[in-house]
Amino acid sequence: MAQFVGAYLAASGKAPMHSRSPICVSRSLKDCPDNSLLSRTDHLQLPRSVAAEVDKGAVGDTGAVSQDQPTSDPSSHLGSGDLAMAPRTADTLLAAAREVLDANRSGRYTRPSQALYPHQWSWDSAFIAVGRSWHDAEGARLELETLFEAQWETGMVPSIVFDAAAPPDAYFPGPDAWQSERSPSAPRGRPTSGITQPPIHARAALEVHRHAPPDQSAASLAWLERMYPRLVAQQRYLATARDPRGIGLATIVHPWESGLDDSPAWDRDFGRIEVPGGALAPYQRRDLDHASPADRPTDADYARFLYLLTLERDANYDDARIVATSPFLMVDPLFNAIRLWSEHALSEIAGLIGADPEPHRAAAGRIHDALIGELWVSRRQRFCAWDLRRDQREPEDTVVSFGPLLDPDLPRPIVAAICRELESPSFRPRRGGPHYLVPTFDERAAGFDPERYWRGPIWLNTNWLLWHGLRLHGRSGLADEIVASSVELVRRSGFREYFDPLDGSGHGSDRFSWSAALFTDMVLASRSPLTMANNG
Ligand code: 9WN
């Protein structure tokens, strides 16, 4: 693995010169069943000039192959996943990522994708801000600030802020379905959804600040000071309105709040929800206009999503009422681990702006205790989602179980158990052909589907989160392998919304913003020894 990643770092221009040439790609090209892809870029949907550069770079790499060169670590299971991009190829893909982010920008924020998601989404904007901050620190700050302008008075940051400029039937369910104005806490004149998404924003704000060029450090610090109370309010909302029993863990009241909508992590509970006849007005799914039905959630799941929306809307988004009555009340380990990671970020931000870091350390400590006390199921050696309605720990083996790696204080035996699972045939099969990391569901489970949304495919945001978590615990080999795989997926299939872990093909939307943003962050952070050493 060390050689494997070394080749990538060399190619990216940060390794010692002597290791830069010739570039090691022999094993991967030989093993790759369709390596013709490496010299064709139509599928990437890049601008023509950029595509030509990528093709030249890829062909150039191929020309440098020598069977005598050291190959990647044979224990690596990426198959075709060599990282030995020519510096020009890496830079060209970075330029293409930037072009995607710029093209998807709409005024003060960035759409997740032009056609499928033409509004501002909460955690998307956080990921996008991190990626954008490498080349446009001011734009990254604006991205997050714009989102928080729609924060509710309760502190809740809505999952979607609707853009009046988008065509009215571009996305369903839109503002007419949500009717956020029913809540007295919703911002006036800014239609939003009535639910939230994972609170990654404090962590994103800290990353954005860290990437600010020196001549912007004062402006960036002033921005952090402005954002701090809003970020604190977001976290406080989750610790109170979403945790009325004071267990230390926030509940989600809709699978969309997890960001991993149709994940099998809550199948047993969500799948039980019956949509009463006549509960839903006739509707048309707009997502199927832009993506294959095989990639998207099923109609049955979509009806359940909409039914829960209806119940929440009918309760006028009153948190106490919803928590007391919602048929879906789930404690998600990933959501709460992100909350914890953001509390640590807030403690750092507090230190930077002269506020008191202590309450944030204490809050992180409470989440830490509850994660381990309530969600760690030692019989299964796994963190499990907790269905509060039925008081059941869900046994499904999904990527949400790995989320607590984001806790820097996670006990070593638990870290070891998570890494064992990540390296097991369920998530890293040992087969001969290409293989990519990290599937969102156990590849050996009966319901694993390599193409359908969060039920198996690889997403770059979960890869990014795991990459951070693994580095926090010194597991740099596996962390590097995740970056390697992410880079290879993008090189192969472009900035797709998600990827088939079996063959690396792209699915869902193309030119997807967070894929471009987090690709950028992983590549540039891996190039920068400073950032690598600075991971908090
Ligand atoms: C519902 C925008 C969002 C992401 C979510 C992803 C998907 C929406 C949808 O798209 O959810 O919020 O319509 O399917 O699951 O994580 O934020 O990219």
CA of 455 to the centre of ligand 1 (A): 14
Helix (H, G, I), strand (E, B) or coil at 409: coil
Q: What is the pLDDT of residue 430?
A: 73
Say whether 252 sits in a helix, a strand or coil. Answer: strand
Q: Please tell me if the CB atom of residue 123 comes closer than 6 angstroms to any atom of ligand 1.
A: yes
**Span 306-344, pLDDT tens digits:** 999 999 999 999 999 999 999 999 999 999 999 999 999
pLDDT at 168: 83
pLDDT value of position 38: 30
Identify the pLDDT of residue 89.
80
pLDDT (0 to 100) of residue 172: 96
Whether 261 sits among the annotated catalytic residues: the reply is yes
Nearest Cα residue to atom 10 of ligand 1: 117
| Residue 117 Cβ < 6 Å to ligand 1 | yes
497 is catalytic: yes
Q: Is the CB of 124 under 6 A from ligand 1?
A: yes
Q: Residues 263-276: what's their mean pLDDT?
A: 96
User: What is the position in ligand 1's atom list of the atom closest to the CA of 122?
Assistant: 17
Least confident of 60-74, 281-295, 317-331, 343-357: 60-74
Residue 508 Cβ inside 6 Å of ligand 1? The answer reads no
Q: What is the mean pLDDT of residues 293-305?
A: 95
Best probe residue, ligand 1, of 256, 257, 298, 453 (max atoms within 8 Å of C-beta)? 256
| 418 in Cβ contact with 478 (< 8 Å) | no
What's residue 529's pLDDT? 53
CB of 178 sitting under 6 A from ligand 1:
no
303 CB neighbour count, 10 Å cutoff:
18
How high is the pLDDT of residue 87? 62
What does pTM read for this prediction? Answer: 0.87
The pLDDT assigned to 36 comes to 26
pLDDT at residue 244 in the model? 87
> Does pLDDT of 14 surpass 70?
no
Whether 428 has a pLDDT exceeding 80, the answer reads yes
Confidence of residue 183 (pLDDT cuts 50, 70, 90): very high
Q: How high is the pLDDT of residue 58?
A: 38
Least-confidence region, from 52-56, 65-69, 230-234, 481-485: 65-69
What tens digit of pLDDT does each residue of 194-225 get?
999 999 999 999 999 999 999 999 999 999 99
Catalytic residue among 55, 257, 261, 343: 261
> Which of 56-65, 95-104, 484-493 is the least confident region?
56-65
Give me the amino acid identity at 301.
D
Regarding the beta carbon of 404 and ligand 1, being less than 6 Å apart is answered: no
What are the residues whose beta carbons fall under 8 Å from the beta carbon of 384, sequence distance 6 or more? Answer: 333, 375, 377, 393, 394, 395, 401
**Do 116 and 291 form a contact (C-beta atoms < 8 A)?**
yes
For range 232-243, the mean pLDDT? 98
Q: Is the CB–ligand 1 distance for residue 307 below 6 Å?
A: no
Beta strands in 332-423 (DSSP E): 376-377, 382-383, 386-387, 392-393
CA of 257 to the centre of ligand 1 (A): 9
Report pLDDT for 237.
Answer: 98
Q: Which of 101, 110, 117 to mutate to test the pocket of ligand 1 (most atoms within 8 A of CB)?
A: 117
Mean pLDDT score, 64-92: 42
Which residue's C-alpha comes closest to atom 16 of ligand 1?
259
Percent of the chain at pLDDT above 70? 82
Give the residue carrying structure tokens 């998807």. 104
Categorize the per-residue pLDDT at 4 as very low, low, confident or very high, splitting at 50, 70 and 90. very low
Q: Is the pLDDT of residue 174 over 70?
A: yes
Span 155-181, average pLDDT: 95
- pLDDT value of residue 25: 20
* CB of 256 shorter than 6 A to ligand 1: yes
CB 166 within 8 A of CB 118: yes
Q: Which pLDDT value is given to residue 35? A: 27
Between 421 and 534, the higher pLDDT residue: 421
- Please give the pLDDT value at position 32: 27
